[in-house]
């Protein structure tokens, strides 16, 4: 209850601040709004270190001047495959502890990193492009990475990364409740903070100036249509963070390299801890062929 009250207070403060700035300059309000949009709700770790992390090899990577923290587990008998766990917005690696031991038993090397501005890593801001650049550096240092298990914003970052990965390396991707359409995320942000239309226009112009791309470019659907990597896409019908309806146009394409697992009642955060989901992920990576 205290956390919800604190969040309401913070949101109320920024609503007022953005409204005040917008009266003077929609552009400056948009710049402030973008900074808020890219700032995690909470910083640091909210749980004790799981036992399996005690056995991890500790890794550090300096990314764009920030020290990021990671973990690596090596199996007793390797199958030669490396998997990377990629958490979502305002999350961290500890939350994916249930994936590590079963994958090790199957011979996979497993890695997980706290993204910039998350968990034990340094930084203040994150967005899909920052996350993509971070993953590119991980691939360059520790790769080739043969498989990705990516949740929420991590799913969008992995999708964007997939476009630039060397095609000769066999890889598989698991997308769990990915941030399918950035436009949907931004629309939710506009609603939450009551962003005026003039600021919305300036916000999207800012993104185009920074990236050279429109908001619609940052789309998992766009990427999966152009890539042929095997993808297991897991999404819950009741997801309020990354709306299930955004996946319907992808499902209608019936792409041969994409398989959907649709769940009910798990929402956005319970989904990656669900036994059925865990089992499907393990089976996907164990399978010798795509599907």
Task: CATH number for 53-181+222-291: choose from 3.40.50.1820, 3.20.20.70, 1.10.10.350, 3.40.47.10.
Answer: 3.40.50.1820
DSSP letter for each residue of 271-286: GGG-HHHHHHHHHHHH
What pLDDT is recorded for position 2? 42
User: What pLDDT does residue 286 have?
Assistant: 93
Per-residue confidence (pLDDT) for residue 29, from 0 to 100: 95
Positions of E strands within the chain: 57-63, 66-73, 82-86, 109-113, 147-151, 172-176, 231-236, 258-263
Angle at the Cα of 177 (from 233 to 111), degrees rounded to 5?
A: 80
What is the model's pLDDT at position 1?
37
pLDDT value for 9: 65
Each residue's pLDDT expressed in tens, for the chain with a length of 291 residues: 344 656 676 777 878 888 888 888 999 999 999 999 999 987 778 889 999 999 999 999 999 999 999 999 999 999 999 999 999 999 999 999 999 999 999 999 999 999 999 999 999 999 999 999 999 999 999 999 999 999 999 999 999 999 999 888 999 999 999 999 999 999 999 999 999 999 999 999 999 999 999 999 999 999 999 988 999 999 999 999 999 999 999 999 999 999 999 999 999 999 999 999 999 999 999 997 654
Quickly count: other Cβ atoms within 10 Å of residue 198's Cβ.
14
Per-residue pLDDT of 178-198, as tens digits, reads 999 999 999 999 999 999 999
Handedness of CA 145, 130, 120, 98 (dihedral sign): negative
Query: What pLDDT does residue 112 have?
Result: 98
Three-state DSSP at 117 gives: coil
pTM for this model (two decimals): 0.93
| Closest to 184 measured CA to CA, from 268, 235, 246, 129 | 246
Alpha-helical (H) ranges within 38-120 are: 51-54, 100-105
- pLDDT digit string, tens, across residues 196-230: 999 999 999 999 999 999 999 999 999 999 988 99
Quote the tokens at residue 172. Answer: 């598989």
Q: Are 29 and 202 in contact (CB under 8 A)?
A: yes
**CA triplet 103, 109, 110: central angle to 5 degrees?**
70
Between CA 52 and CA 117 the distance in angstroms is 23
For the chain, the maximum distance between any two Cα atoms, rounded to a whole number of angstroms, is 63
- Is residue 75 a contact partner of residue 86, using CB atoms and an 8 Å limit? no
Q: Residue 11: its pLDDT value, please?
A: 79
pLDDT at 233: 98
Query: At a CB cut-off of 8 Å and minimum separation 6, what does 63 contact?
Result: 116, 133, 134, 137
């Amino acid at each position: 209850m205290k956390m919800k009250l604190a969040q309401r207070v913070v949101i109320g403060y920024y609503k007022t601040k953005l409204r005040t700035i917008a009266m003077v300059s929609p552009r400056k309000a948009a710049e402030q709004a973008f900074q808020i949009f890219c700032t995690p709700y909470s910083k640091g770790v909210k749980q004790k270190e799981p036992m399996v992390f005690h056995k991890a090899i500790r890794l550090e990577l300096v990314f764009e001047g920030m020290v990021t923290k990671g973990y690596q587990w090596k199996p007793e008998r390797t199958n030669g495959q490396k998997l990377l766990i990629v958490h979502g917005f305002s999350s961290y690696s500890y939350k994916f502890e249930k994936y590590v031991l079963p994958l090790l038993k199957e011979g996979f090397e497993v890695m997980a990193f706290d993204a910039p501005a998350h968990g034990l890593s340094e930084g203040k801001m994150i967005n899909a492009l920052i996350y993509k650049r971070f993953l590119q550096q991980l691939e360059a240092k520790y790769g080739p990475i043969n498989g990705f298990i990516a949740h929420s914003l991590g799913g969008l970052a992995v999708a964007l990364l997939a476009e630039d990965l060397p095609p000769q390396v066999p890889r598989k991707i698991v997308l769990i409740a990915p941030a399918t359409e950035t436009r949907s995320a931004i629309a939710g942000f506009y609603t939450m903070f009551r962003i005026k239309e003039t600021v919305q226009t300036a916000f999207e112009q800012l993104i185009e100036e920074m990236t050279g791309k429109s908001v619609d470019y940052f789309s998992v659907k766009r990427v999966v249509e152009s890539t042929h990597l095997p993808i297991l896409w897991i999404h819950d019908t009741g997801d309020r963070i990354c709306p299930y309806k955004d996946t319907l146009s992808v499902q209608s394409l019936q792409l041969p390299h994409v398989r959907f697992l649709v769940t009910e009642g798990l929402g956005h955060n319970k989904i990656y801890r669900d036994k059925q989901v865990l089992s499907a992920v393990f089976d996907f990576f164990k399978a010798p062929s795509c599907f």
